[in-house]
Amino acid sequence: MNFHIKDENLADKGKLRIEWAGQSMPVLNIIRDRFEKEKPLKGVRIAACLHVTTETAALMETLKAGGADVAICASNPLSTQDDVAASLVKNSDIPVFAIKGEDHDTYYSHIRSVLKIKPMITMDDGADLVSTLHSEKKDLIPSILAGTEETTTGVIRLRSMAMDKVLGYPIIAVNDAKTKHFFDNRYGTGQSTIDGIIRATNRLLAGSAFVVCGYGWCGRGVANRARGMGARVIITEVDPLKSLEAVMDGYAVMPMEEAARIGDIYCTLTGNIHVIRKEHFLKMKEGAIVSNSGHFNVELDLDGLAEITEKRRMIREYVEEYTLVNGKRVYVLGEGRLINLAAAEGHPSSVMDMSFANQALSAEYIAKHHGQMRKEVYPVPEEIDRRIALMKLQSMGIHIDKLTTEQEKYLSSWEMGT
């Protein structure tokens, strides 16, 4: 088996950590048990480009239990857990191409390596796999049934490919499932981003001015958790509706220009480029900490920052000190890459349980229904979303009410008024 990982000797450690994660993934475990019996993915080759974490390992093993041949590479150069990569190779016989800290060329060479399995399904997180395939390996497109996409940024890229009529096969937008983004983006990013910032810096959040750039589901989650830790949270936004919501949620809302003078800690989660720029860095307080938890490392203008920097040094792992031309120091966490995955372990297993249940059931859906799908971006079928919510509730021992016949009739009628 061909693979490229850091160190095979880390496999035992990875196996135990994967087991630990699995204990908080009851929905995926139920799916895995069924897949084991029914083999709905028999003979289906799946190329995955996902963060190589304990939770992703559970997904890969589930797909394999369903009969799929899988190969995986990283969806971010800094998010790979090397012990997990080793365990997947040594204990699960799954080809992995991922090393934490890999450079840009290695990152793309790993994407090319997973494409060598000639995928029938692609499973992407950010759409780098799909975009590499469409730009360099078009010959593979005819044998692809469909793909799935895990994250907001990837779905945006894929929708623009579909709009431009260049998308070569159908995609299911896993991100847009309610059981994905309401939970993973909000509670997962919320907790793991704070976790990453704290692990990287060991700074106290209580009493600090914490600037959250972007008030989508991820920004809402981080703002809420930062407030819970006692920070004074400031939101920057471009969307009037989201800004209004942030105001009514009780946050200070202001342009970056103003927030730049106030913040102690910054975190970008916008999905857009250069949210914090040269002019903002120059206004910052001495010792300001800047981080990103949006998908790509483009939200902080690090090239601009370098231009106004006199001296740089790593002061501790994941913390780079930039001494600016104005004499002030700014600290950049995790090279401006997803701080929750670079310095911490990504979203907790319990929330990835639902995200990856969506991935597994979407792969099964593709295997069954690809013949009826066009070259478009599809939502996860509503029925799958509801089934996952129900399974999650059941696994938590929570029962809910059912509509009575009278209530069902009332909801479907229009005659009954006051």
Indicate whether 359 belongs to the interface with ligand ADE (CB under 6 A): no
Give dist(CA 254, CA 250) in Å, integer: 13
Phi, psi of 264, deg, nearest 5:
-95, -40
Closest approach of ligand ADE to the CB of residue 350, in Å: 10
Choosing from 319, 347, 365, 389, the residue that interacts with ligand ADE (CB under 6 A) is 347
Q: Report yes or no: 235 and 215 within 8 Å, Cβ to Cβ.
A: yes
With 0-12 CB in 10 A as exposed, 13-18 as middle and 19+ as buried, what is 220? buried
Q: Report yes or no: 194 and 210 within 8 Å, Cβ to Cβ.
A: no
Distances in Å between the Cα of 149 and the Cα atoms of 49, 139, 377 are 10, 21, 9
Tell me whether residue 186 or residue 280 sits nearer to ligand ADE (CB atom): 186
Indicate whether 170 belongs to the interface with ligand ADE (CB under 6 A): no
Give dist(CA 408, CA 415) in Å, integer: 14
Interacting residues with ligand ADE between 12 and 71 (CB under 6 A) = 50-51, 53, 55-56
Q: Give the residue from 167, 169, 272 showing the smallest Cα distance to 213.
A: 272
Q: Return the structure tokens found at 180.
A: 């994905």
Q: Where are the alpha helices (DSSP H) in 175-255?
A: 178-180, 189-201, 217-228, 240-248
Closest approach of ligand ADE to the CB of residue 247, in Å: 28
Choosing from 154, 196, 271, 346, the residue that interacts with ligand ADE (CB under 6 A) is 346
Q: Report yes or no: 276 and 290 within 8 Å, Cβ to Cβ.
A: yes
Taking the alpha carbons at both ends of the chain, their separation in whole angstroms is: 70
Question: Which helix or strand (DSSP H or E) is residue 82 part of?
Answer: helix 82-92
Closest approach of ligand ADE to the CB of residue 125, in Å: 6
Closest approach of ligand ADE to the CB of residue 192, in Å: 6
Tell me whether residue 263 or residue 334 sits nearer to ligand ADE (CB atom): 334
Size of the site for ligand ADE (CB under 6 A): 10
Closest approach of ligand ADE to the CB of residue 173, in Å: 16
Give me the residue whose beta carbon is nearest to ligand ADE.
346
Closest approach of ligand ADE to the CB of residue 81, in Å: 9
Closest approach of ligand ADE to the CB of residue 341, in Å: 6
Instruction: Please give the angle made by the CA atoms of 293, 299 and 302, to the nearest 5 degrees.
Output: 115
Tell me whether residue 55 or residue 299 sits nearer to ligand ADE (CB atom): 55
Indicate whether 352 belongs to the interface with ligand ADE (CB under 6 A): yes
Phi, psi of 197, deg, nearest 5:
-65, -40
Closest approach of ligand ADE to the CB of residue 51, in Å: 4
Tell me whether residue 113 or residue 189 sits nearer to ligand ADE (CB atom): 189
Tell me whether residue 48 or residue 288 sits nearer to ligand ADE (CB atom): 48
Tell me whether residue 55 or residue 320 sits nearer to ligand ADE (CB atom): 55
Tell me whether residue 49 or residue 223 sits nearer to ligand ADE (CB atom): 49
Task: Fill in the per-residue mask, 186 to 205: x = in contact with ligand ADE (CB under 6 A), - = not in contact.
Answer: --x-----------------
Q: Report yes or no: 63 and 88 within 8 Å, Cβ to Cβ.
A: no
Interacting residues with ligand ADE between 245 and 284 (CB under 6 A) = none
**Residue ranges in contact with ligand ADE by CB under 6 A:** 50-51, 53, 55-56, 188, 341, 346-347, 352
